C-alpha cells in the first residue's frame, strides 16, 4: 500500500477530497518521514509538529477548501510564517519572530495548506552551503555527499526525499530552479510580481521571485493556483503537437559549455519534443554573460541597503561565503547599478522578440550535475554555470524539470521559458515533456 | 566571471573600504574586501553598456495583460 508521504500533491488532494485520507494522517506520515531522514538531509531547520498537527486536526473536520486542503507545504526560511522565527539560516536573525504571515503563506493557509517545517536555505538566500552557520547545509537526497543546489536547498531536498509534497522557495538568480535541477524535481519561477513578496526577506527586490518546488508539473499548477489565483491546470494536458519551441542551444553549447552528459540530455529533450509533434527551431538570445553581469550588478546594488548595517557593524556574523557575496554591494558605484538597469530593458526586449516567433523556449538549466558539497571550488563553479539567471533579469516565467540521470546517478535537467504572464503555456510545455520523457516520479535512493 | 587576484593598490582599497563604512570588515576580513573590489573590477569588464545615452533604467515591473 502506498504510504501517504509517497503521494503527489494531486494524489493526496484527491484522497482527501474522497475522504480516503485525513489531513492529520498525511501530516503524521510526513512528520515521521522528517524525523527519520532529516538528520541525514538537513532539509528542515525547524519542525513545528505540534502546531501543524493542531491545524491538520481542525482541517480533518472541514469540507475540503481547495486541492491544497490538508497538504503539508515546506517553507524556505526567508518567508514569514506568523509566530515562527524567520532566521534566513543566519546567526544574525536567529531570534527574529514573524508577527504575521507573508502574503503567499496567507493565501496558502486560506486554501487549507499546513506548514510543518521551515527549510534550509543558503544564508539570506545568497551564500552557499556553509558549515559555519547555526544550522547545517541541506544535502542532496540522490547522494548525500553532493550539493542539492540553492539557495532554496532545503526545499529541493525535502520535496525530492518526500518529506512533503511541495515547498516554497525564492529565486533571484535561479534559486528555485537550481535545487530542482540538482534534486530531480520541478521548480517553477513565475513571472516577476505574479506572487507578492510581502513578508519575504528581500535579497534584491527587482530580481526576487517567490516560486515553488514539487515532484510533478500538475502539482506545480495546483500550487500556483493557490498562490496566484487563476486556473493553471486547465490546459496542461493539451500536448506538444503544434507547439512552437525555440531551442536556445548556444547557452549550453557556446556561452557556458555544458558537461557532456548534461548537454546530451538537453539535446535529447529537443529531439523528444520534436518527435512528440512540437515544431522546433533554434533561437539566438544575447549571451549568458550579459544576463549574468546585469544580474550581478543589480543584485549587489539592491542587497546593499538590506545588509549595510550588519556588514558595517557585524561582518563576522555572516558565514564567510555570504560575506564575500554581499560585500561588493557596499563598494559598487551607483553608475554601475544604473547601467545594469539601463541594459536590462534591451535584454528583456530581446527575449520578448524571440516570443514573436515561438511559443516557449527550451534551454539548459544547470550546466553540470550536482557537485560534491565539500568541494568549495566545485561549489563556487556551480553558480555561474547555469542558464536560469537570464529570466530573473527579464522576469519571464521559467520551469526546470528532470531530463535524465548521469552515469553517477545524479539528476540532469532542462528548462522551459514562456512569455510574460503565460504560466499556463509554460506548464503545458513542461507537462507535455514530463509525460513523454517518463522521469516523473523518479526516486532518489534515500526515498 | 572568472576569479582572479585583486588588482587594486592596497592604499586605494583601504580608502574605498573606509569610505563605504567597512572599517571593521577591513580589519577583520581584509581578503574578503579585496576580493569584493576585484569582483567589481571584473564586473565592469563584462557589464554591457547601453549604446544610447538616452536609454532609461528599466523598471522591474512588467505590465499585466
Which residue among the candidates A24, A90, A118, A151 is catalytic per the annotation? A151
Q: What local confidence, expressed as pLDDT, does residue B29 receive?
A: 97
Instruction: Using a pLDDT cut of 90, give the percent of chain B over it.
Output: 58
Which residue among the candidates A90, A153, A175, A406 is catalytic per the annotation? A175
Quick: pLDDT tens for A241-254.
Answer: 999 999 999 999 99
The rounded distance, in Å, linking the Cα atoms of A371 and A177 is: 16
Model pTM score = 0.97
Q: What are phi and psi of A20, to 5 degrees?
A: -90, -10
Task: Determine the distance in angstroms separating the CA of A426 from the nearest CA of chain B, rounded to an integer.
Answer: 16
Q: What local confidence, expressed as pLDDT, does residue B4 receive?
A: 56
Low-confidence residues of chain A: pLDDT under 50: none
Q: What are phi and psi of A390, to 5 degrees?
A: -55, -35
With beta carbons less than 8 A apart as the criterion, state whether A299 and A205 touch: no
Quick: pLDDT tens for A142-190.
Answer: 999 999 999 999 999 999 999 999 999 999 999 999 999 999 999 999 9
**Residue A300's closest chain B neighbor by CA?**
B40
With beta carbons less than 8 A apart as the criterion, state whether A217 and A431 touch: yes
User: By the CB < 8 Å criterion, does B24 face chain A?
Assistant: yes
User: Which position has the grid cell 534515500?
Assistant: A446
User: By the CB < 8 Å criterion, does B64 face chain A?
Assistant: yes
Class of the CATH domain delimited by A4-289+337-441: alpha beta
**Residue B35's closest chain A neighbor by CA?**
A324
> At residue B5, does pLDDT exceed 80?
no
| DSSP H/E element including A411 | strand A411-417
* A151 cis-preceded (ω within 30 degrees of 0): yes
User: By the CB < 8 Å criterion, does B28 face chain A?
Assistant: yes
Nearest to A395 among B20, B24, B60 (CB): B60
Residues of B in contact with A336 (CB under 8 A): 40, 43-44, 47
Per the CB < 8 Å rule, is B21 touching A308? yes
The rounded distance, in Å, linking the Cα atoms of A26 and A369 is: 32
Task: Determine the distance in angstroms separating the CA of B42 from the nearest CA of chain A, rounded to an integer.
Answer: 9
Q: Which of A393, A414, A370 is nearest to A129 (CA)?
A: A370
Per the CB < 8 Å rule, is B62 touching A420? yes
Residues of B in contact with A380 (CB under 8 A): 3
The ipTM is 0.92
- Domain definitions of chain A by residue range: 4-289+337-441
Residues of A in contact with B38 (CB under 8 A): none
Residue B64 pLDDT level (bands cut at 50, 70, 90): confident
Per the CB < 8 Å rule, is A342 touching B28? no
DSSP3 helix / strand / coil % (chain A, rounded to 5): 45, 15, 40
A151 included as an active-site residue: yes
> At residue B60, does pLDDT exceed 80?
no
Residues 6+ apart with CB under 8 A from A414: A265, A266, A269, A362, A363, A364, A365, A400, A401, A403, A433
Residues of A in contact with B60 (CB under 8 A): 192-193, 205-207, 395
**Residue B38's closest chain A neighbor by CA?**
A328
A366 included as an active-site residue: no
Per the CB < 8 Å rule, is A339 touching B33? no
Residues of B in contact with A345 (CB under 8 A): 55-58
Per the CB < 8 Å rule, is A331 touching B16? yes
> At residue B1, does pLDDT exceed 70?
no
Residues 6+ apart with CB under 8 A from A136: A42, A120
Amino acid at each position: 500500500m502506498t504510504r501517504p508521504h509517497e503521494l503527489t500533491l494531486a494524489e493526496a488532494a484527491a484522497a482527501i477530497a474522497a475522504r480516503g485520507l485525513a489531513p492529520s494522517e498525511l501530516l503524521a506520515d510526513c512528520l515521521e518521514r522528517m524525523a527519520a531522514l532529516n538528520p541525514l538531509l538537513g532539509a528542515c531547520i525547524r519542525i513545528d509538529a505540534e502546531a501543524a498537527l493542531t491545524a491538520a486536526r481542525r482541517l480533518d473536520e472541514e469540507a475540503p477548501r481547495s486541492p491544497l486542503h490538508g497538504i503539508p507545504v515546506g517553507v524556505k526560511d526567508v518567508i514569514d510564517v506568523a509566530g515562527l522565527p524567520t532566521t534566513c539560516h543566519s546567526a544574525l536573525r536567529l531570534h527574529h519572530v514573524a508577527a504575521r504571515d507573508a502574503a503567499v503563506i496567507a493565501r496558502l493557509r486560506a486554501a487549507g495548506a499546513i506548514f510543518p517545517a521551515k527549510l534550509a536555505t543558503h544564508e539570506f538566500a545568497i551564500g552557499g552551503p556553509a558549515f559555519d552557520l547555526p544550522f547545517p547545509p541541506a544535502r542532496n537526497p540522490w547522494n548525500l555527499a553532493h550539493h542539492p543546489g540553492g539557495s532554496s536547498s532545503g526545499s529541493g531536498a525535502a520535496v525530492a526525499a518526500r518529506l512533503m509534497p511541495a515547498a516554497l522557495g525564492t529565486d533571484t538568480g535561479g534559486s528555485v530552479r537550481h535545487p530542482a535541477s540538482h534534486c530531480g524535481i520541478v521548480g517553477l519561477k513565475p513571472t516577476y510580481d505574479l506572487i507578492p513578496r510581502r513578508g519575504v526577506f528581500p535579497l534584491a527586490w527587482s530580481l526576487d521571485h517567490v516560486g515553488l518546488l514539487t515532484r510533478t508539473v500538475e502539482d506545480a499548477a495546483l500550487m500556483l493556483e493557490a498562490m496566484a489565483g487563476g486556473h493553471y491546470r486547465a490546459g496542461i494536458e493539451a500536448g506538444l503537437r503544434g507547439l512552437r519551441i525555440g531551442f536556445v542551444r548556444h547557452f549550453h553549447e557556446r556561452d557556458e559549455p555544458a558537461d557532456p552528459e548534461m548537454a546530451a540530455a538537453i539535446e535529447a529533450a529537443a529531439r523528444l519534443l520534436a518527435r512528440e509533434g512540437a515544431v522546433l527551431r533554434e533561437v539566438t538570445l544575447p549571451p549568458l554573460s550579459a544576463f549574468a553581469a546585469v544580474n550581478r550588478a543589480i543584485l549587489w546594488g539592491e542587497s546593499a541597503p538590506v545588509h549595510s548595517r550588519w556588514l558595517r557593524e557585524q561582518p563576522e556574523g555572516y558565514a564567510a561565503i555570504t560575506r564575500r557575496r554581499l560585500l561588493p554591494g557596499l563598494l559598487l558605484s551607483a553608475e554601475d547599478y544604473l547601467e545594469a538597469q539601463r541594459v536590462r530593458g534591451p535584454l528583456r526586449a530581446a527575449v520578448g522578440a524571440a516570443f514573436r516567433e515561438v511559443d516557449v523556449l527550451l534551454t539548459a538549466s544547470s550546466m553540470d550535475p550536482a557537485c560534491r558539497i565539500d568541494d568549495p571550488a566545485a561549489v563556487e563553479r556551480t553558480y555561474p554555470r547555469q542558464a536560469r539567471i537570464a529570466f530573473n533579469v527579464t522576469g519571464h516565467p521559467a520551469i526546470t524539470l528532470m531530463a535524465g540521470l548521469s552515469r553517477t546517478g545524479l539528476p540532469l535537467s532542462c528548462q522551459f521559458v514562456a512569455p510574460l504572464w503565460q504560466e499556463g503555456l509554460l506548464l503545458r510545455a513542461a507537462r507535455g515533456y514530463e509525460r513523454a520523457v517518463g522521469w516523473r516520479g523518479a526516486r532518489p535512493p534515500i526515498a | 566571471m572568472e576569479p582572479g587576484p585583486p588588482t587594486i593598490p592596497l592604499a586605494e582599497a583601504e580608502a574605498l573600504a573606509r569610505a563605504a563604512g567597512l572599517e571593521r570588515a577591513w580589519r577583520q576580513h581584509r581578503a574578503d574586501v579585496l576580493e569584493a573590489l576585484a569582483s567589481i573590477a571584473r564586473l565592469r569588464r563584462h557589464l554591457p553598456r547601453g549604446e544610447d545615452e538616452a536609454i532609461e533604467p528599466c523598471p522591474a515591473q512588467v505590465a499585466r495583460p
